[in-house]
Amino acid sequence: MSDLSKGKILVTGGAGFIGSALVWAMNSRGIDNILVADRLATDEKWRNLSPLRFDDYVSADDLLDAVRSEALALNDIRWVFHLGACASTTERDLGFLMNNNYGYTRQLCEWSVRRAVRFVYASSAATYGDGSQGMDENESGINRLRPLNAYGFSKQLFDLHAKRRGYLGQVVGLKYFNVFGPNEAHKGEMRSLVSKAFDQLQETGRIELFKSYKPEFRDGEQKRDFLYVKDAVDMTIHLAIRQGTAGLFNLGSGQARTWIDLATAVFAALGKRPEIEFIEMPDVLRGKYQYFTQANIAKLMATGYKGPRYSLEAAVADYVQNYLVPGKNLEAL
């Protein structure tokens, strides 16, 4: 189970942010026996696929049809990285999220388990909600978690389903924290602050951050666990190929940093003096906002992982200077 070159690899969401970075990371390891699945519409997401090497492409809907019909065309798949989902934390159509995030994942997981195919899927740190129940991927306590938005709820439901069915002893679920980096431009308002801040700096010379509405956090000192996408995909591959590894894993840096830290790193990457403006948070976000996230990555480290390669400042500098300024994508890596 440790050689990705054996058998075909399915990457759902392969044209998306983390999915395309994962394909790039495999390409950099000499691996291109990859079937990419996604929903390509009218946005510019297709550009993420342009520099990548992969064997074939299938639409996400056609893939699900093939899974349901036990199509012979899928018989050579030995690895599934299921990263496709609606990742909008402001999406309010729960019926859509249930079909797209929960139902799709359930069917693909069950197909993989029946065939003894290695199944690695994206859960989310959004399942932790306000963090009052902790942010440890303790599977015995996941039923106590209360996500703050519908997206997190849809991810939580599959984690619970996998626990009830006993799948967590066979598959790997990844609780990605605040991932940022190249190939996220198509996400629009859901892209990272680094991407948004770069554009704001070009237009106004300053960066906007949300005010705080909790007295224990000053403006801009809300904290998140920021993770560079290059580290995120390294962690993903590490867990996939590690024999005997299964269950839920936090993928983060393990260190909470403030939004001011992140904004300051963007200014530093451009050689500019920080100028930050604090703005009102939209009403739609105020009751669903996570003020503190920090991944406990002890479980990941116990598998032999050596830790993230990039500090926050180094990651922001690499992203800004090597991708945002010249307008490049992962082809430059």
Q: Catalytic site residues?
A: 151, 187
The β-bridge partners of 13 are none
Strand partners, 226: 178
Q: In this structure, what DSSP letter does residue 191 have?
A: S
* Residue 184 and residue 191 in contact, taking contact as beta carbons nearer than 8 Å: yes
Kindly give the pairing relationship between strand 178-180 and strand 226-228. parallel
- Whether 227 and 257 have beta carbons less than 8 Å apart is answered as no
Helix residue ranges, H only, the chain? 17-28, 60-68, 94-97, 104-114, 150-165, 193-204, 229-241, 259-269, 283-286, 298-301, 312-319
> What is the pairing mode between strands 8-12 and 77-82?
parallel
Q: Could you please report the per-residue DSSP string of 217-262?
A: S-TT--EE-EEEHHHHHHHHHHHHHSTT--EEEEES-S--EEHHHH
Could you please report the per-residue DSSP string of 13-56?
Answer: TTTSHHHHHHHHHHHHTT---EEEEE---SSSGGGGTTT---SE
